[in-house]
Amino acid sequence: MALSGVHEDRGKLRIYESLDELGTDLADYVAELSEASVKERGVFAIALSGGTLISLMGKLCEAPYNKTVDWAKWYIFWVDERVVAKNHADSNYKLAKDGLLSKVPIVPSHVYSINDSVSAEEAANEYEFVIRQLVKTRTVSVSDISDCPKFDLILLGMGPDGHVASLFPDQSVLDEKDEWVTFITNSPKPPPERITFTLPVINSASNVAVVVTGESKAEAVHLAIDSLGPDDPLLPARMVQTTKGKLVWFLDKPAAEQLDGSQFSK
C-alpha cells in the first residue's frame, strides 16, 4: 500500500513499497493526464528525462494503456539531452525510443529530438526555436503569467546530488531567467555537453512529476522536500516549484527513508 501526503510547499508525496507498485501508479497518472489534456486541448505535450525514469514508465507499453492511451495526440520532448549521436548509449532519445516510444504507436513527426550534429550551444538554440514555433501554434500551451511554454507534463528524475534535468548544484544555469533551453559543457557527470530546460520552463508546466528511487538518493530527497534550516544547501530539486501547476513526487521507500514522516497517511 502506498503512503501519500501533501507538503505545504513541496507538492504531493507518494511513497511505494515496491518499484512495481510505483510503475503501476505512474502509468495511471500519465494516462489520466494524457486523457484530460487531449480532451481539453486536443494534444498532450510531454517532456521526458533520462535515467531510470523510462524503465519505470514501462507499464504504459502494456495493456490496457497501449490500447487506451491516445498515442497519436502525444508530442514528445526532452527536458534535457546529452549532445551525442542518437544511437549513442548515453542518448536520452535512444533510451526513450528503446524503452517506450518504439513500443507504442507514437507519430514519428511528433517526436522532437535535438540536432546532435551541432555544438551544445547551437543545439540548445535550435531546440528553443522549435518549441517557440509550437507555442505559436498552441501545440505547446503558454503560461498565463509569463511567456514560458506550459507543457502538460514534465517528468524528472533526481540524482544523489539533487540535480534535476541537467541542472546541477552550484552552476550558473540555475539562475537563467530568459532562455527556455540552455546548455552546459562541463557536466559533473559524463558526457559533459548537454542541453537542458531552464527552471522557469520546468516551473511553468501544468504538471511536474519527480520520480526518485533508491537509498543513495534519500538524503537529497530529504533536502529537496523537508523543512530546512538556513545552513542547508539549496539543491536544484528544491528549486522545482511550480508557479501554478501541480507538483507530485513518486518515491520508493528507500528514497523516502529520511523524510519527516509526520505528513503522510496510508
The answer to whether residue 261 is domain-embedded is: no
The residue segments making up the domain with residue 42 are 13-256
Nearest Cα to Cα of residue 242 among 179, 199, 181: 199
pLDDT in tens, 44-80: 999 999 989 999 999 999 999 999 999 999 999 999 9
Place of cell 549513442: 88
First and final CA of the chain: distance in angstroms?
A: 7
Judge whether 104 and 63 are in contact, CB under 8 Å. no
The answer to whether residue 59 is domain-embedded is: yes
Judge whether 83 and 120 are in contact, CB under 8 Å. yes
The answer to whether residue 33 is domain-embedded is: yes
Question: Who has greater pLDDT, 88 or 263?
Answer: 88
% of the chain at pLDDT higher than 90 = 88
pLDDT attached to residue 264: 54
Alpha helices in the chain (DSSP H): 19-41, 53-56, 65-68, 92-99, 120-136, 199-203, 218-225, 253-256
40: domain CATH number is 3.40.50.1360
The answer to whether residue 8 is domain-embedded is: no
Quote the pTM value: 0.95
Whether cis (ω within 30° of 0) applies to the bond prior to 188 is no
Per-residue confidence band for 149, with pLDDT thresholds at 50, 70 and 90:
very high
The answer to whether residue 36 is domain-embedded is: yes
Judge whether 109 and 72 are in contact, CB under 8 Å. no
The answer to whether residue 123 is domain-embedded is: yes
The answer to whether residue 49 is domain-embedded is: yes
pLDDT attached to residue 249: 97
pLDDT in tens, 178-227: 999 999 999 999 999 999 999 999 999 999 999 999 999 999 999 999 98
Alpha carbons 86 and 64: distance in angstroms, whole number: 30
% of the chain at pLDDT higher than 70 = 97
Per-residue confidence band for 262, with pLDDT thresholds at 50, 70 and 90:
low
The answer to whether residue 110 is domain-embedded is: yes
The domain total for the chain is 1
